[in-house]
Structure 1
Amino acid sequence: MAIKTINPYNNKEIKSFEEFSVETVEKKIAQADKTYQKWKTVAIKERAELLMKVAALYRKRKEELARLITLEMGKLIAQSEAEVEMCASVYEYYAKNAADFLEDKPIEIKDGKAFVRYTPIGIILAVEPWNYPYNQVARVAAPNIMAGNVIMVKHASNVPQCAAAIEEIFREAGAEDGIYTNLFLSSSRIAKLAEDPRIVGLSLTGSEKAGASLAEAAGKNLKKSVLELGGSDPFIILEDADIEKAVKSAVKGRFGNMGQACTSSKRIIAVGKIADEFLEKFKEKITGLKVGDPMERETEVGPLSSEDAAQKIEKQVNDTVKSGAKVVLGGKRIDREGAFYEPTILTDIKPGMVAYHEEIFGPVASFYKVKDEKEAIALANDSTFGLGGSVFSENIERAVEVASQIETGMIFINEHVASRPDLPFGGTKRSGYGRELSELGIEEFVNKKLIRISNK
């Protein structure tokens, strides 16, 4: 099976790669296992030096790397450049902080001494998505390499050049073969890989279906897994919110990366008398955005990641509208070559409709007007997802109280959900389990070994 780069701006094939054979994969696993036996003994300072070189190379090659993102999945070029910078910051963060995170943790006991020591466990297999092709990989690679593990990555099939570039950067930074390994594979082969005893942990960022499949494979083989799956994040605007700030944040939160983010602000929930004002200003900000080539800096609306993605969103919106929802803005494909879809706002969405229950992974905002805070909380929690969310209010104490009642892994107050190295990232319910980033991210795939010293 060929793994292809298809430019979503014009749906033309650019380049293809052959899927690895069974024999090639076996050689790569064997090399990773051999390298792990050495890497786990390397001093943290030396591991940090490698990641600092990786970060420097991302910045040195930023323009080239950003263009690959835009070419393969259509992200606006300025946003692609910002992703490269964010990726570099993740490697730097763990290079600078992992030593402190991995220090022995003493346990206070009355008789003798005890402490927890963090030790590496082996090869971690990561299955990563196309929407942030460098940064998503960095979030699992950086902490685990610093912890003394080694990484094998099955990247999304539509970003093979980005996938190859990551491995190339590690090699250029001086990493021994096997510390970071790219695997050109189809998703159907992951379950078989999970059976290999040399692979000890599995991490996936992707869809519910993919997550359930990986979790099944991990569970069957008694292996730890971390899942970061879909989201339908609520974005709550209370009646005492700063409307201008909320509108600005909602536009970025919903339409950044063309809405193709797990933590995108997908459900806009406005309380009482401010709802109509918010909706009008929200619509004004989105109307008339410039559509065009994502490589051009003046473009504000680019393509989705693929033609399949555009067709799926078109069907989800059409099915929702047929059920009685209203289109305030957009609602259809843009009449031009490529995987384009109009920035869209839907209202009058009710339980039973597609947009009420499904994640719409694109530039479609679902807008809800509710009578009070209690109703806003109930609506926010009426979802199978539980990744992130936002609450806007000038009363911070009130906002925190509302946030504490939202069933998600993350809540941001007076800003949309964003990923940063020093904050833990992850969800609950059908949005997955485990955490990436921060100190919590480096604790997922280590042996938390108790060492007890008797005083008897």
Structure 2
Amino acid sequence: MTTITTVNPATNQTIETYTVMTKDQATAKLEACHKAFLKWRDRSHADRAPVLTAIAAKLRAHADDLADLMTRETGKLLQDGRQEVEICAAIFDYTAKHGPDLLADEERTHGTRGARGLVTYQPLGVIYSIQPWNFPLYQPVRVLAANLMAGNGCVLKHATICTGTGLYLRKLCIQAGLPADLFQVIIIDHDTSDALIEHPLVRGVTLTGSDGAGRHVSAKAAGALKKTVMELGSNDAYLVLEDADIEVAVKYSVMGRLYNNGQTCVSAKRFIVTDAVHDAFVDAYVAQMREITMGDPTASGTQLGPMSSKDQRDTVAKQVRDSVAKGARVLCGGEVPDGTGAYYPATVLTDLAPGMPAYDDEIFGPVASVIRARDDEDAMRLANESRYGLGGGIFSKDEDRAVALARNHFDTGMVRINSFGAADPNMPFGGVKDSGHGREHGGFGMKEFVNIKAIFLP
């Protein structure tokens, strides 16, 4: 019998051990979810909404317990965990409030005589959700809320290190009135996961993860003609233009690189700084990064907690070492500290060039890559040079020009101007290029896994 064990990355203490399901056990969960879907799909959007609202209330009522569990499983700062719970509650509230109107039948016309037509958004069935560890509650919630409103069921394969959070979310959903089998959490290996993707009862697959994982899951789903939504990695560029307010740029660049201990797909990762303001930005940025307090994620004064695991910390440390070996220069941080826990300090690298991990690849940890650009045009070119295209940012005092650059030239799904943030229920979330396809939030996620059905009347 195979098991997995969750470990606190700050203390190395064991949290819980779980038994990995067999293929037959996982398939039984899928079949139970489908059976529950057959009843759930008959409920109107208006009848589904109160269940989502009740889940939001249940999350808020258990916010402290959820935040504590997420901190123990992944090392995220306790205050960040509380914020994550509130974001998740807000997503359920938003979906409950706007879903019935967004998914309502639409009247159309057809033919030369303008005959009546109807467009209706009908649920597909069971959606298979494969989610990572960096936001243990938010990642499954953004899939779950949208698909429950659409009328679908959901089977979640969560990252093993935050298994407890996934199971706790399901428990709270059931307590809030969600049919017990409509949302399943399965603990399985990759082979069983591949088999489930191909199972006829799975009608759609969504993954948040690396571009490598996205290619594998997309290929499996495509072979079975399943629609997918892929929210993959990124190497988000934040442009510091010639007219940038350096104080503002530094403030949000520190926040953007260290949020969630630097383990966020839309973290600010590459800082492309025009020559005119390069030295002023770097001096101020490095000074603030050096002062970051790293330590116990449950302590109120901590600004940077541990990474999610020693393996993840070691991956980041190797990317930094490999970049330095190829000519990168460390301005602060860059060394694994002594002591217990998967800690890695706030780090700034410069003198970067193509071929270095810190230039080409996503570093999923508190490591900032500073790249010098000749001017604003060159900065935009360097930003778009990446194979990724999830998010990005622009620092400029000319907001209209920044909007024009963001709108017409930035080859990403999201752009922040003179700010940093992760996600908002009212705005679409997703990327292009190797960062994936499809959208979540803003109402768009509710229509990703539905049958947009045309009905023609005479």
Q: TM-score range by the shorter chain?
A: over 0.9
1:388–1:417: 8 Å Cα contact kept in structure 2? no
Q: What letter is aligned with 1:114?
A: G
* Residues 1:263 and 2:266 aligned together: yes
Deviation of 1:417 after TM superposition, in Å, equals 4.3
Q: Which residue matches 1:76?
A: 77
1:243–1:278: 8 Å Cα contact kept in structure 2? yes
Q: Which residue matches 2:439?
A: 435
- Cα deviation, 1:345-369, whole Å, max 9, x if unaligned, reads 0001011112111110000000012
> What are the within-5 Å matches in structure 2 for residues 388-399 of structure 1?
388-399=391-402
Deviates more, 1:191-200 or 1:392-401: 392-401
Dislocated runs of 4+, deviation >6 Å: none
Matches of 2:57 and 2:180, distance apart in 1: 20
Q: Which residue matches 2:107?
A: 106
Q: Which residue matches 2:45?
A: 44
Q: What letter is aligned with 2:11?
A: N
Matches of 2:319 and 2:409, distance apart in 1: 29
Q: Which residue matches 1:115?
A: 118
Q: Which residue matches 1:203?
A: 206
* Residues 1:335 and 2:349 aligned together: no
Counterpart selection for 2:414 from 401, 404, 410: 410
Q: What letter is aligned with 1:223?
A: K
- Cα deviation, 1:109-149, whole Å, max 9, x if unaligned, reads 44212232100010000001100010111110001000100
Q: Which residue matches 2:425?
A: 421
Q: Which residue matches 2:177?
A: 174
1:8–1:73: 8 Å Cα contact kept in structure 2? yes
- Cα deviation, 1:62-85, whole Å, max 9, x if unaligned, reads 000000000000001000111011
* Residues 1:14 and 2:12 aligned together: no
Q: Which residue matches 1:307?
A: 310
2:237–2:392: 8 Å Cα contact kept in structure 1? yes
Matches of 1:167 and 1:4, distance apart in 2: 19
Deviation of 1:107 after TM superposition, in Å, equals 3.2
Q: What letter is aligned with 2:456?
A: R
Q: Which residue matches 2:404?
A: 401
Deviation of 1:332 after TM superposition, in Å, equals 1.0
Match of 2:391, SS state, is coil
Matches of 2:119 and 2:245, distance apart in 1: 46
Match of 1:426, SS state, is coil
Matches of 2:404 and 2:24, distance apart in 1: 56
Deviates more, 1:85-94 or 1:181-190: 181-190
Deviates more, 1:221-230 or 1:4-13: 4-13
> What are the within-5 Å matches in structure 2 for residues 91-102 of structure 1?
91-102=92-103
Q: Which residue matches 1:225?
A: 228
Matches of 2:390 and 2:244, distance apart in 1: 23
2:11–2:341: 8 Å Cα contact kept in structure 1? yes
Distance 1:108 1:374, change over 3 A: farther
Q: Which residue matches 1:88?
A: 89
Counterpart selection for 1:278 from 267, 270, 281: 281
Deviation of 1:253 after TM superposition, in Å, equals 0.7
What is the aligned length?
A: 454
Deviates more, 1:416-425 or 1:200-209: 416-425
Match of 1:438, SS state, is coil
Matches of 2:240 and 2:361, distance apart in 1: 22
> What are the within-5 Å matches in structure 2 for residues 233-252 of structure 1?
233-252=236-255
Q: Which residue matches 1:446?
A: 450
2:105–2:119: 8 Å Cα contact kept in structure 1? yes
Deviation of 1:422 after TM superposition, in Å, equals 0.6
Matches of 1:108 and 1:418, distance apart in 2: 40
Matches of 2:164 and 2:133, distance apart in 1: 11
Q: TM-score, normalised by structure 2?
A: 0.97
Deviation of 1:108 after TM superposition, in Å, equals 4.8
Q: Which residue matches 1:254?
A: 257
1:326–1:346: 8 Å Cα contact kept in structure 2? yes
Deviation of 1:188 after TM superposition, in Å, equals 2.9
Matches of 2:355 and 2:294, distance apart in 1: 33
Deviation of 1:52 after TM superposition, in Å, equals 0.8
Matches of 1:420 and 1:187, distance apart in 2: 31
Matches of 2:253 and 2:191, distance apart in 1: 37
* Residues 1:387 and 2:395 aligned together: no
* Residues 1:318 and 2:324 aligned together: no
Q: Which residue matches 2:359?
A: 356
Deviates more, 1:383-392 or 1:24-33: 24-33
Identity of aligned residues (%): 40
Match of 1:202, SS state, is strand
Matches of 2:149 and 2:344, distance apart in 1: 41
Q: TM-score, normalised by structure 1?
A: 0.97
Q: What residue ranges of structure 2 are gaps of 5+ in the alignment?
A: none
Q: Which residue matches 2:26?
A: 25
Q: What letter is aligned with 1:361?
A: F
Matches of 1:136 and 1:302, distance apart in 2: 20
Matches of 1:290 and 1:406, distance apart in 2: 34
Deviates more, 1:214-223 or 1:188-197: 188-197
Matches of 1:58 and 1:67, distance apart in 2: 13
Q: What letter is aligned with 1:291?
A: M
Q: Which residue matches 2:57?
A: 56
Q: What letter is aligned with 1:328?
A: L
Deviates more, 1:414-423 or 1:31-40: 414-423
Superposition CA RMSD, Å? 1.1
Matches of 1:383 and 1:392, distance apart in 2: 19
Matches of 1:234 and 1:388, distance apart in 2: 8
